[in-house]
Every structure is written in structure tokens, then in C-alpha cells.
């Protein structure tokens, strides 16, 4: 049986947390990531002994028996690479659907992120849309947060603005992106609202707080956030200046036709 500390999925997650911290997306203990392990990964590694049980503040029947690698509450992303066993944990959702069995990690007695409800509900939603979606990533990129203070908070307008800052965006997330108003983070309420958006989108903006990204791989989830943040940076850099050379709706339609992209047609005029 292999040791989890040597697992490629663990090394990839810790490299990702270090990169996100370096970019300023996850200050202090901000941000969290959860990764749905495959049955093959669980079988390959020493994940068969329950260390302790941790209550979960919601019921997730459709995730019973599934195992997740999850960043810990109060932990700093910058420390995950050097001390993964303290800052990360692998949990399995017990048969009652309301308890997590700790199989590895949280060695200082800690537990998973306080935003576990939003993560698990989002996993449940994305698995219904795409069974290969295994990553949920949350962080606090500067420009997307700033933009949420100054821009109308509806899916269509927000998506359209982001798309028009860089036509790469309509290629990377042609389905658009969801936007939520300010809500209490860590609550079941924001978890439910995020999961509802995740049925349509892989990206959900939490106004005045940050962003959620979902993907099949770490690269995909990270790349989604990265692409949105770059476009938000362009938007915030332009500021009040008059745009005299815009990317128009017609430009985006022509690009989508050229690239064969099936995008949200109702998000463009």
C-alpha cells in the first residue's frame, strides 16, 4: 500500500496552493480546494483506517462513500507544500450522509475548511452535469473582487463584460459565469445558491468575496479562475477611461463561429 505523502494528486494540489498564494489569491488562511478522489486512487493508497469522525453541517446522500482531499480550516496555502499532513486531510462521507470519516491528515486535530458545505454541494451539482468534474477551487483574486463592487451583479451582464475584455474568455467558458450577491460565507445558504449556479456554470463569483471554479483537473479549474481574473484586471485597469476600440458583440459572434464554439447566445446582443 502506497503512502499518501507520495501521491501525485497530493503533490499537484500543494503546488497549486503555493502558486495561488504567490499570486495573492489566497491571503492568510483565505481560500480552499477540494478534490474528489477516484476509487482507483483510494485503493492504491493507505486510506482504509478511520482516524476519527468529523460532523458535517448538512446532509449529502449522493456523496456517501466518496473520498475528498480538502484543505483545512484556518490553514495557510503557503504552508501546504511543506507540511501537507497538517494542512490537508482526506475524508470519506459516511453512510449517514452527515459525517466525514478522516482517513488521512489534519494531524494537529483540525478539520476541513469552514466552506465545506459549498464545496460538497458544488461537487454534487457538477457531478450531475459532468461526472468527470472533480475539482472545486475557491480563492480571492484582487480584480474580480474589486469588479464585484462596481459592476451589476447578474450573470448575463457580468459574463458579457468579462467576455469583452478578452475574446479568449468565450472560448474558455462559453457557458458563461454565475454571480451571487454578498452572502454569509460558510453557510448552507451560500452553498445551496452556489450549487444552483454550478448546474449551469463552472465559475461562480461571490460578490465582495471571491470566486469558485470547477473542473476535471487542477489545470482546468486554475485556468478558469486565471482567465477570469486577467479579464477583470483589464476591466479595472481601464476604469473610467472611454473605450474607443472595443471588442463588440459582433466580434465575439464571429470569433465563436470561426472557432466552432457553442456559447450562451442570450448573453450577447
Which cell is 241 given? Answer: 477611461
Size of the chain, expressed as the number of residues it contains: 269
Q: Where are the beta strands (DSSP E) in the chain?
A: 32-36, 52-55, 67-71, 88-93, 99-105, 135-139, 178-180, 203-206, 210-215
Segment 252-256 long-range contacts (CB within 8 Å, at least 24 positions apart): 252/163, 252/164, 252/167, 252/170, 255/167, 255/170, 255/171, 256/170, 256/171, 256/174
Among 115, 220, 226, 229, the one annotated catalytic: 115
The answer to whether 115 is a known catalytic residue is yes
Q: Determine the Cα–Cα distance for residues 36 and 216; give it in Å rounded to an integer.
A: 10
**Which residues belong to the active site?**
115
Amino acid at each position: 500500500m502506497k503512502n499518501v505523502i507520495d501521491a501525485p494528486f497530493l503533490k499537484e494540489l500543494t503546488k497549486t496552493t503555493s502558486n495561488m498564494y504567490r499570486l495573492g489569491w489566497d491571503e492568510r488562511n483565505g481560500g480552499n480546494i477540494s478534490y474528489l478522489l477516484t476509487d482507483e486512487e483510494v485503493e492504491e493508497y493507505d486510506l482504509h483506517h478511520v482516524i476519527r469522525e468529523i460532523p458535517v453541517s448538512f446532509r449529502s446522500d449522493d456523496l456517501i462513500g466518496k473520498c475528498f482531499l480538502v484543505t483545512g480550516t484556518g490553514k495557510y496555502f503557503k504552508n501546504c507544500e511543506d507540511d501537507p499532513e497538517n494542512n490537508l486531510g482526506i475524508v470519506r462521507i459516511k453512510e449517514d450522509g452527515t459525517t466525514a470519516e478522516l482517513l488521512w491528515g489534519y494531524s494537529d486535530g483540525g478539520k476541513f475548511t469552514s466552506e465545506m458545505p459549498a464545496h460538497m454541494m458544488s461537487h454534487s451539482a457538477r457531478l450531475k452535469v459532468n461526472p468527470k468534474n472533480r475539482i472545486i477551487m475557491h480563492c480571492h483574486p484582487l480584480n474580480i473582487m474589486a469588479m464585484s463592487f462596481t459592476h451589476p451583479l447578474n450573470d448575463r451582464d457580468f459574463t458579457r463584460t468579462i467576455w469583452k475584455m478578452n475574446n479568449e474568455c468565450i472560448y474558455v467558458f462559453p457557458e458563461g459565469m454565475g454571480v451571487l450577491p454578498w452572502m454569509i460565507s460558510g453557510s448552507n445558504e451560500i452553498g445551496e445558491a452556489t450549487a444552483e449556479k454550478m448546474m449551469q456554470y463552472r465559475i461562480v463569483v461571490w460578490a465582495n468575496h471571491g470566486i469558485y471554479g470547477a473542473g476535471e483537473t487542477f489545470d482546468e479549474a486554475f485556468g478558469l479562475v486565471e482567465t477570469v481574473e486577467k479579464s477583470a484586471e483589464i476591466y479595472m485597469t481601464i476604469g473610467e477611461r472611454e473605450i474607443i476600440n472595443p471588442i463588440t458583440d459582433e466580434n465575439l459572434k464571429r470569433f465563436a463561429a470561426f472557432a466552432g464554439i457553442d456559447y450562451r447566445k442570450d448573453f450577447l446582443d
